[in-house]
Structure 1
Amino acid sequence: MTPDPDPPGPGTTPGPDTPAPGAGRARGGAGVPLTKTGTPKEPAASGPPGQGAPAPRPEGGGRDGGHRTRRPWSARRIPAALVASVILVAAVAALADVIAVRAGRRSAAWRRHLTDALATRPVDDVWMLTGAAVAAALGLWLLVLALTPGLRRWLPLRSPAPRLRASLDRNGAADLLRDAAQRVPGVSTARVKVRRHRVKARADVRFRDPRQVKDDLTAVLDDERDRLALARPPRIAVRVRRTDRS
């Protein structure tokens, strides 16, 4: 037992910061630091803040950390290069012919033929209708390319920051899900196809009850899908088939 400190002498008056004898053990207890007022300090949290707490899971599909994760957009390099090349060739040919006419030469044969055909052919002519249909189809194709993101084989992942984007290939996701499905007892072979909104899994069962295997397979695929951290988790559809034992 540790003896109490010696009391102050007859000519010494205890100050406000001088604790009374035995006050440390009576108020703070063993090993608890005290403040100047004698109240015990709260222990500081060890490690970085939020280290022990699990990360919150986004409530809505495609939202993480207060922002929405969008699909990546394709650069459309090949269609843009084709359209730019066609426009460049047509513009250069027309400009060269206009310069030749201004210089006193005759216009090119293709320009005279095109002008005469547009001036003499009726609107319901087969070639006119064919050209209009081709132009409309090309215009519709360009509109679809301009208004759709493309890159359908890439699945966006959840990201903690708005400018941080990551994607997962559909074939890679299908391989991971297929490996997880083949680890289920009773499954001999498994085939998985990953779509944008749905995952189709088919498995051949050699032993065990197919209904139990289907339940276990659905649970395993659900867990593996959650581990992929997809921004919009697709639904899982499982089909099992009983195969004869060899």
Structure 2
Amino acid sequence: MSEPHDPQDGTRRLPTTGAEQQEAPSGDVLEAERDADGPASEPDAGPERSGGRARRFRSGRRIPSALAALVLLGAAGLLLYDIAAVRADHPAMQWRRTLADELATRRIDDVWVLAGSAAAAAIGLWLLLLALTAGLRSLLPMRREHAGVRAALDREAAALVLRDRAVEVAGVQSVRVKVRRRKAAVSAVSHFRELDEVRDDLDTALRSGIEELGLAKPPRPSVRVRRPKKG
């Protein structure tokens, strides 16, 4: 049943449901794990609608592009120089004569021909992969609240924030956090309290921390709690 609405108050109070007040049961276990997937892990679409879709940042790939350009420039320059020398009645370079003889005498199923073809195909596929993929996997796009502003959060920084949230939970002795694009894996060690209780508190703290990060696609928390090793 909803609360009465004050006409002088500009805010509206929504009723709470019973599902929001349920508590997770606890038990006597030596290890507890949860791969949570609920409404809190869904991205907030409101800011994205106002500022546009938050896309991944694309790497400039300056080093691979520079290396490929230098190799092609050197090979083209050397070939053009040799062609110009032949046109000027000078003998062709030894490497070109040797290459022409090898290509004319070797069979297609020769080991060196197959190895060279495989190497050229691998380099071509690598360049295509670099051209088609976004790169910069360490950057997590944040929600766009303004059309002209794009922001990202480093994975290590996000993991550090979630780790600080996790160590504040009572019963947590140590914790490791690894943030990926779709999942935030948390492995904690608890030296007192029931493991289910620690896990539930960790899950609540991590969901709140992930929401405050402001990511466009919040990662889904996966919590694993265990006892410290004896000895």
Q: What is the TM-score of this pair, normalised by structure 2?
A: 0.78
Bigger mean CA deviation after superposition, 105-114 or 57-66: 57-66
CA–CA distance in structure 1, aligned partners of residues 229 and 103 of structure 2: 71
1:78 corresponds in structure 2 to 63
Instruction: Decide whether aligned partners of structure 1 residues 237 and 207 sit closer, same or farther in structure 2, where only a CA change above 3 A counts.
Output: same
CA–CA distance in structure 1, aligned partners of residues 207 and 223 of structure 2: 11
CA–CA distance in structure 1, aligned partners of residues 150 and 173 of structure 2: 37
Question: For residues 77-226 of structure 1, what are the structure 2 equivalents within 5 Å?
Answer: 77-226=62-211
The alpha carbon displacement at 1:139 in A equals 0.5
Conserved? CA contact 1:190–1:203, under 8 Å: yes
Specify which of 211, 221, 224 is matched with residue 236 of structure 1: 221
Conserved? CA contact 1:58–1:64, under 8 Å: no
More RCO (CA 8 Å, sep 6+): 2
The alpha carbon displacement at 1:149 in A equals 0.4
Instruction: Decide whether aligned partners of structure 1 residues 193 and 80 sit closer, same or farther in structure 2, where only a CA change above 3 A counts.
Output: same
The alpha carbon displacement at 1:67 in A equals 2.0
The alpha carbon displacement at 1:163 in A equals 3.2
Q: Secondary structure at the match of 2:173?
A: strand
Could you say which structure has the larger radius of gyration?
A: 1
CA–CA distance in structure 2, aligned partners of residues 184 and 116 of structure 1: 74
Bigger mean CA deviation after superposition, 186-195 or 161-170: 161-170
Gaps of 5+ in 2: 1-10, 13-41
Larger helix share, 1 or 2: 2
Question: Aligned AA for 2:203?
Answer: T
Q: What is the TM-score of this pair, normalised by structure 1?
A: 0.74
**Count of equivalent residues:** 193
> RMSD value over aligned CA atoms?
2.3
Conserved? CA contact 1:74–1:150, under 8 Å: yes
CA–CA distance in structure 2, aligned partners of residues 59 and 105 of structure 1: 71
Deviation per residue, 1:45-65 (Å, 9 max, x gap): xxxxxxx99xxx965499342
CA–CA distance in structure 2, aligned partners of residues 196 and 61 of structure 1: 20
Deviation per residue, 1:164-223 (Å, 9 max, x gap): 111111001000000100000110111000011101001111111110000000000000
Q: Secondary structure at the match of 2:99?
A: helix
Question: For residues 43-82 of structure 1, what are the structure 2 equivalents within 5 Å?
Answer: 59-60=44-45, 63-65=48-50, 67-82=52-67
Q: Secondary structure at the match of 1:188?
A: strand
The alpha carbon displacement at 1:243 in A equals 2.6
The alpha carbon displacement at 1:138 in A equals 0.4
